[in-house]
A = this chain, B = another copy of it.
Amino acid sequence: MTKINQLSTYLSENNLDAAFITTPDNVFYVSGFRSNPHERLLGVVIFKDAEPLMICPKMEVPDAKEAGWAFDVVGHQDTDQPWQLLKEAIVAKGITINQLAIEKSHMTVERLEALQELFPQASFARLDDQLNSMRVIKDERELDILRKAAEFADYAIEVGVSEIAEGKTELEILTAIELALKKKGIAHMSFDTMVLSGPKTASPHGKPGDRKIQKGDFVLFDLGVIYEGYCSDITRTVSFGEPSDAQKDVYETVKKAEQAAVDAVKPGVRAMDLDKIARDVITQAGYGEFFTHRLGHGLGISVHEFPSVTGNNEMALIEGMVFTIEPGIYDPSITGVRIEDDVVVTKDGVEVLTKYPKELVIIPSA
């Protein structure tokens, strides 16, 4: 069933006449058309029992069709009144809007007022939770894209590790990674790439800078790419030169915690259970106070979406959910280490999308 059919069914079941979707991420989700028209009106209207329609700037109509939109498109120019065109297209279908579902956590008050003027008799329902509950489960097509996005993340780590050398700065390594990805057609990272070295690894929100890599450093990479509208997110930490016993112990503890959480993923397990499993390993090794953030977050069209993998999220995992597992220890007296994978909940377990090895990589320091 397509996303649009799913939403039509939802509208029927809830006595709603139509849904009006206007956030670029959700327009992309239901239509395959990715656009950011800024203030200009872009939206998809889905009906209980009629074909959907799209409204977008006229110059983007061909792009929408090329992206696979097979239904009506209302194109508008800057000299048009787009809201009026929208109403006319709906009226032309013989549809009356009494109950309209909107994205209340995104739609602006200004746009609500425009809709109230167009449909004075209408009341407005909340569509957000329905969209969130759909987006949290990825279908096969989405999983294929996420697999590929994760491959690029693995490749980025490979490049980063190969760039590590005495005296190179964090920023130089970061730049080499992003250049290599751009050459592969990746135009945007899913967030600011992080390359941190030495004591800076112990700061979970540190910023890459001019620090030069030196013998004995751990180097932490946290990065991801946007591929066909979907995000990946990986963290690996490697050693430049032979690590101390204390560094090794931190590393092996994080690795064990991460693997324990990954191994526990399957339908029915709660998000909070995963957090506890990883946290217990770290606490029992004596580093509990240095694991200062949640275990992970959902991943998809947004780099942070549902489900949140926190110690108080009772949501049970369902097949098709995709999220990160990323425990860390940030002990300023030893080092910081974080290891992060992207995982999918499968029918009876887990598929790990990011495949860069998790054995501690030791780069000879000459």
A residues lining the B interface (CB < 8 Å):
38-39, 102, 104-110, 112-113, 124, 126, 128, 171-172, 174-175, 178-179, 182-183, 187, 192, 207-208, 210, 304
Complexed CA–CA distance, A155 and B140 (Å): 47
Residue of B113, B124, B128, B179 touching A172 (CB-CB under 8 A): B179
Of the A-B pairs whose beta carbons lie under 8 Å apart in the complex, a sample of 14, sorted by A's number, is A38-B304, A102-B109, A104-B109, A104-B113, A105-B108, A105-B109, A107-B109, A108-B108, A109-B109, A109-B124, A110-B128, A112-B112, A175-B175, A183-B210
SS class, residues of chain A in contact with chain B: mixed
User: Which residue on B lies nearest to A112, using beta carbons?
Assistant: B109
Extra pairs beyond A107-B109, A109-B124 (17, CB < 8 Å):
A38-B304, A39-B105, A105-B108, A106-B108, A108-B108, A110-B126, A110-B128, A112-B112, A171-B182, A171-B183, A172-B179, A174-B182, A175-B175, A175-B182, A182-B208, A187-B192, A187-B207
- Give the residue among A107, A108, A178 with the most B Cβ atoms within 10 A: A108
User: Which residue on B lies nearest to A304, using beta carbons?
Assistant: B38
Complexed CA–CA distance, A187 and B172 (Å): 14
- Give the residue among A107, A112, A174, A182 with the most B Cβ atoms within 10 A: A182
Q: Is the CB of A179 within 8 A of B187?
A: no
Q: In the complex, what residues of B have CB within 8 A of residue A178's CB?
A: 175
- Give the residue among A110, A174, A192, A207 with the most B Cβ atoms within 10 A: A110
Q: In the complex, what residues of B have CB within 8 A of residue A112's CB?
A: 109, 112
Q: Is the CB of B110 within 8 A of A108?
A: no
Complexed CA–CA distance, A211 and B227 (Å): 22
Q: In the complex, what residues of B have CB within 8 A of residue A183's CB?
A: 171, 210
User: Which residue on B lies nearest to A38, using beta carbons?
Assistant: B304
Closest 5 interchain pairs by CB?
Answer: A104-B109, A104-B110, A175-B179, A105-B110, A171-B182
Distance (whole angstroms) from the CB of A43 to the closest CB of chain B: 15
Complexed CA–CA distance, A38 and B192 (Å): 16
Complexed CA–CA distance, A105 and B187 (Å): 30
Complexed CA–CA distance, A8 and B112 (Å): 27
Distance (whole angstroms) from the CB of A280 to the closest CB of chain B: 22
Distance (whole angstroms) from the CB of A33 to the closest CB of chain B: 17
Complexed CA–CA distance, A182 and B169 (Å): 11
Complexed CA–CA distance, A210 and B104 (Å): 43
Q: In the complex, what residues of B have CB within 8 A of residue A110's CB?
A: 104-105, 126, 128
Complexed CA–CA distance, A302 and B174 (Å): 26
Q: Is the CB of A108 within 8 A of B104?
A: yes
Complexed CA–CA distance, A178 and B193 (Å): 13
Complexed CA–CA distance, A187 and B206 (Å): 12
Q: In the complex, what residues of B have CB within 8 A of residue A107's CB?
A: 108-109
